[in-house]
Amino acid sequence: EDQVTQSPEALRLQEGESSSLNCSYTVSGLRGLFWYRQDPGKGPEFLFTLYSAGEEKEKERLKATLTKKESFLHITAPKPEDSATYLCAGQGGKLIFGQGTELSVKP
Amino acid sequence: ETGVTQSPTHLIKTRGQQVTLRCSSQSGHNTVSWYQQALGQGPQFIFQYYREEENGRGNFPPRFSGLQFPNYSSELNVNALELDDSALYLCASSLGQGGNEKLFFGSGTQLSVL
């Protein structure tokens, strides 16, 4: 059965303290690995799509990487406005989301 | 460019009732997907519509049904509501049905079943 698992469930960082979020996936016929950001009371907002192992994509302080079993979202020198829930999703026959990592960045 | 809009934003129903949730796609998008998001969980795929036809369904019972209209707006209908149906219901639109397109989500409808 296709599965996407994210860790940790919650992460608290000080402003400027870099870290990584993990996404482990088992998705048959993976056609894409997605990262979304979700703010409270809003729908998820697209960040990245990764298609093959070794691929990397960057946007401001965020960098996403992909291996054959995992994806990582690296956050460099985070700011309070980066606080949100980050969702990972694997697209096989359907899009399977992980449960998310709730990131809190304190000034 | 108009984003994805959902209505209503909040809804309270009692067990056994029926509910209809509505979604307007982003301009130019022909595919709509519906997701259920329980508190503290990731979204779960309910079903997808492409050009008015159902194009994939998740593990949800038949009392969850949908429609897509010629203007690509969509409805999600849930019959015989159960307490566990309480969740945030998200609509997402995209262009095409290849399966790896990025989704544009609305802000959701928060459904509470009492």
- How does pLDDT run across A14-59, given as a tens digit for each residue? 999 999 999 999 998 899 999 999 999 899 999 999 999 999 999 9
DSSP B103: P
B9-35 average pLDDT score:
95
Q: Are A76 and A15 in contact (CB under 8 A)?
A: no
Is A66 near chain B, with CB under 8 Å? no
Q: Are B88 and B109 in contact (CB under 8 A)?
A: yes
Identify whether A80 is preceded by a cis peptide bond (ω within 30 of 0): no
Q: Quote the mean pLDDT of chain A.
A: 96
Cβ-based contacts under 8 A for chains A and B: 56
Would the pLDDT of B31 be above 60?
yes
Yes or no, beta carbons of A42 and B107 under 8 Å apart: yes
| Bridge-based pairing state of the strands B19-24 and B5-7 | antiparallel
